[in-house]
Chains A and B, each alone.
Chain A
Amino acid sequence: MLTGNKNTSWKFFSWFFALALMLPIVVMLLGSINASSDLFSHLWATVLPEYIRNTVILGLLVALLSFCFGVPAAALISQTNIVMGKQLRWLLMLPLAMPAYLVAYLYTDLFDYAGPVQRLLRAWFDWQSPNDYYFFDIRTIGGAAVVISLVMFPYVYMLTRTAFEQQDRNLLRASRLLGCTERQSFFQMTLPLARPAIAVSLALVTMETLADFATVQYFAVSTLTTAIYDTWLGYSDFAAANALASVLMLFILFIVVAEQRARAGQRHQSSRPNTQHQRKQLSVAQQIIGSIFCWFLVFAGFLLPVILLLVMVIDYADYQQLVALIVTGKNSIEIATYTATIATSIALILALFQRLHQSRLRMFPVQISGFGYAIPGTVLAMAMLATFGPLDHAINDVAKALGFTAPGLILSGTVFAIVFAYIVRFSAIANGTISAGIEQIPKSLDLAPASLGVTTLSAIFRVHLPLLKSSILVAWLLVFVEAMKELPAVLLLRPFNFETLSTQVYQLISDERLEQGALGAILIVLFGLLPIIILNRQKDTP
């Protein structure tokens, strides 16, 4: 396989990139060493247990709800003849395009006591005070979990649906012949076989939830991230904040490891995708319930928020806003493009390294480069400053010593830091997609080119990359969308006069003037739709 010089340089770059992505995390861990135990004992004695409880409950609830939304939806679309299944198939992915903080803002606003829904109800039924009627309180853990799940469930839906569709249909047939009814066969065969996909997607959803701050804040739910912000911004104890962030990261690593463990015993690949599989014919009642379920998800996760935004756009948007958006939109697209391109390239290098290299530690670069996903954006931004600040100082000191003018903060004060932070954060997505793609390539294809007298490198370009084309596209698009939506890191790291769509929307939200930012929000959503449309195209024409 890889031999000689190329072997070592490939190895060097793999480790170099992996360690570079790991660096801010190491800096964060080191930064937590000086944490004061006083503050911890105070937090522990007062609010921390409840924060942790909230975090765990929120994580579990989101996982549970995403499961309850995503898995039945996947089953309905892939296993039954549900009406408009072809449309629902991609409609159900749309909520992915909605930034969670945006939906959180819109929904808390909508269902709040003072929000339009409750106002309308009060007007209709002539209720005067909250004691006159019951209405669910949106600003609770439950409310937060529902709303987060509404935008996150498509991960579960997508991965599970794919797993269902790629299941070997003979396994299902065998179970039928061995006495399982259709229903039993689903629960004893289809579902357990899709467990790895379900586990991966739930882990992803849980990670996102635990690292989130902005969304839960709208719901007035205090979690571990609240504690991180309190200690850092309130108590000005950066070390303690780092320590808490490290704890949170361990939490998340635990989930990841548990998920991988759970999957370790199951190695199987379908040889016979379930394409011609007979769909279950639903009864009329089942059709109605299934359709209501799917359409509810599409409506609540995508249509309603978009309608709310569009109403605002119609009421408030003007030409001037549009002009301003062109600049900010360009910034967003630029950063997202850099991030997606570099993250995908690194993922390719690492994944191919893992696949083709003989080294015993070959899986490590891929694994450690994905840790960043578990870190809240702002904490990561701080880690970036802590990492590149000193580097910048060194560069400037050297430049001055050599008699040049100091170049300034070329690492921590420029777009470089933002893109780097994004790559750290979203590498996990690119890695996952590319690795999954590589696993689909038969091992024999690694060897075949050599038998034809073609070097490994040339084989990579002529065999692996073409075969990975769709995975590369998917990885690129997923990272692109996430980068378009990302907020906290860019907010803190951006250079002067630098706005992106998300910072602009955020600023207007934070001043409760989303109306004026609605157009920008719609743009973020529109860009988020791109990959979904392309992903869907791809799946339909293999």
Chain B
Amino acid sequence: MKPLINIENLAVKLQATVILTQVDLSLAKGEILGLVGPSGCGKTTLLNTLAGFVAQSAGTIEINASNNQQIKVSTAAMLPAEQRNIGMIFQDYALFPHLSVNENICFGLKKLTKTEQNKRCKELLTLLELTDFGQGYPHQLSGGQQQRVAIARALAPQPSLLLLDEPFSNIDARLRNELMIEIRRLLKRLGMTAIFVTHNKDEVFTFADKIAVMHQGKVLQIGSPAQVCQQPNSWQVADFLQLGSWLPVALLADYNPAQVTSLIGQLAPSAIVNAPADNKRDSALNYQLLVKPNNIELCEQQGSNVIVEHIGVTEQGYHYLLSSIEKNSVLAFSQLSFYSQELFALGDKLAIKLKGEDFNLYTRTT
């Protein structure tokens, strides 16, 4: 089956600044993709380029709507936003303040007759539990209601693709999860393909089928959330997704698999399942080991090597941030996470070591 949307080699330049480059993406019908990345990584620009607000400087966007209508956008054949059949929900909802809720929802239905418009509008109001607010104006609604109106408005013209720009950032944290599940269910029921942008990875895990991590205008990794979490393909991906804390390490020799040493001990080559493909030892490179909470344990037999800098309380016990006692080494660290049921005091000196078999090693390029 053809993917619903297929993006190839997309690039965007604004006044000689490269905003997006070499973006390849494809989504099957009904899939929900979460675009994440630090601010300025280009994720919103990607959304705006798909919508037609920003012109691409290279590459193609293909959208294969269900009715076999194909939309293809390239630098040679640009298509204005209104002809792309794409819906969008804006961060601030962008509800038309001078129009009532009904008028907002019917705004994109100009091609239908009045009766059809009313019918569609009523369906959406019911679907989104807004039946009482049709005559009201946006400023009379609560934030959650406004968002539902924005969704209804975007869905009304039955777009083939829905774009959501940080849709949940204005929603109360307590309601957010519930709402995400509700909307995800709705999109799934309608078989709607959607791309949404967020800087919150938890939202992706709740809302998306697929995740794409972006950095400096590039898509670094795409895959199911589980896949990406287990095997982040780069330091940036792992760092952004906060999959663990970073331990500076040194390569002992430049053969594969790598053998590394750190201030809290060495690792056998077999323990590293994932390492930079081309790992010729290079002292200029900054090697870092992704250390997940379960990769550290206390060991009394040795002299202490870390000091407690911060104590936090979580449902799972205490969360400590540790720094190396040795401060002058290139391998010194300051923010290593460690979870334990045991209570220590600030400034306590502990002895820890690495454990486990599934380490990921990255080079950090800045």
Count, A-B residue pairs, CB within 8 A? 75
- Let me know if A195 is at the binding interface, CB within 8 A: yes
CA distance in complex: A31, B138 (Å): 48
CA distance in complex: A195, B156 (Å): 27
Give A197 Cβ to nearest chain B Cβ, in Å: 13
Interface hit among A117-125, A266-274, A511-519? A266-274
Interface hit among A153-161, A179-187, A214-222? A179-187
Q: Of residues 156 to 187 in A, which have CB atoms within 8 Å of B's CB atoms? A: 168, 170-171, 173-182, 185
CA distance in complex: A170, B92 (Å): 8
- Let me know if B52 is at the binding interface, CB within 8 A: yes
Give the residue name and chain of the A residue nearest to B138 (CB): A268
Give B87 Cβ to nearest chain A Cβ, in Å: 6
Interface hit among B107-115, B189-197, B310-318? B107-115
CA distance in complex: A266, B159 (Å): 30
Query: Which residues of A have CB within 8 Å of B97?
Result: 171, 193, 266-268
With A170-B94, A182-B80, A268-B139 already in contact, the answer to whether A175 and B107 are too (CB < 8 A) is yes
CA distance in complex: A185, B111 (Å): 15
B-side interface mostly? loop
Q: Interface range on chain B: under 10, 10 to 19, 20 to 34, or 35 or more?
A: 20 to 34
Give B124 Cβ to nearest chain A Cβ, in Å: 13
Q: Interface range on chain A: under 10, 10 to 19, 20 to 34, or 35 or more?
A: 20 to 34
- Let me know if A192 is at the binding interface, CB within 8 A: yes
- Let me know if B82 is at the binding interface, CB within 8 A: yes
Query: Which residues of B have CB within 8 Å of A175?
Result: 96, 107
Query: Which residues of B have CB within 8 Å of A182?
Result: 80
Q: Of residues 3 to 57 in B, which have CB atoms within 8 Å of A's CB atoms? A: 48, 51-54
- The contact string, 1 if C-beta is below 8 Å from chain B, for chain A 267-306, is 1100110000010000000000000000000000000000
B88-A177 in contact (CB<8A): yes
With A174-B88, A265-B137, A268-B139 already in contact, the answer to whether A181 and B82 are too (CB < 8 A) is yes
A271-B92 in contact (CB<8A): yes
> In the complex, which of the residues B81, B111, B139 contacts A177, with contact meaning CB atoms closer than 8 Å?
B81
> In the complex, which of the residues B53, B54, B111 contacts A179, with contact meaning CB atoms closer than 8 Å?
B111
CA distance in complex: A268, B52 (Å): 26
With A173-B51, A176-B81 already in contact, the answer to whether A168 and B94 are too (CB < 8 A) is yes
Q: Of residues 42 to 101 in B, which have CB atoms within 8 Å of A's CB atoms? A: 48, 51-54, 80-82, 84, 86-88, 90-92, 94, 96-98
Q: Of residues 83 to 125 in A, which have CB atoms within 8 Å of B's CB atoms? A: none
With A168-B94, A193-B98, A278-B53 already in contact, the answer to whether A177 and B87 are too (CB < 8 A) is yes
With A168-B92, A173-B88 already in contact, the answer to whether A192 and B82 are too (CB < 8 A) is no
A272-B157 in contact (CB<8A): no
Query: Which residues of A have CB within 8 Å of B110?
Result: 179
- Let me know if A189 is at the binding interface, CB within 8 A: yes
CA distance in complex: A171, B159 (Å): 18
Query: Which residues of A have CB within 8 Å of B81?
Result: 173, 176-177
Give the residue name and chain of the A residue nearest to B81 (CB): A176
Query: Which residues of B have CB within 8 Å of A178?
Result: 82, 87, 107-108, 153, 156-157
B98-A177 in contact (CB<8A): no
A173-B90 in contact (CB<8A): yes
Give A168 Cβ to nearest chain B Cβ, in Å: 6
Q: Of residues 298 to 331 in B, which have CB atoms within 8 Å of A's CB atoms? A: none
Q: Of residues 148 to 206 in B, which have CB atoms within 8 Å of A's CB atoms? A: 153-154, 156-157, 159
- The contact string, 1 if C-beta is below 8 Å from chain B, for chain A 254-273, is 00000000000111100110
Q: Of residues 62 to 77 in A, which have CB atoms within 8 Å of B's CB atoms? A: none
Give B100 Cβ to nearest chain A Cβ, in Å: 10
CA distance in complex: A192, B99 (Å): 10
Residue among B94, B108, B139, B154 having the largest count of chain A Cβ atoms under 10 Å: B94
Give the residue name and chain of the B residue nearest to A276 (CB): B14
Give B259 Cβ to nearest chain A Cβ, in Å: 51
Residue among A168, A171, A174, A268 having the largest count of chain B Cβ atoms under 10 Å: A174
Residues in chain A within 8 A of chain B (CB atoms): 168, 170-171, 173-182, 185, 188-189, 192-193, 195, 265-268, 271-272, 278
5 chain-A/chain-B pairs, Cβ below 8 angstroms:
A168-B92, A179-B111, A181-B80, A193-B96, A193-B97
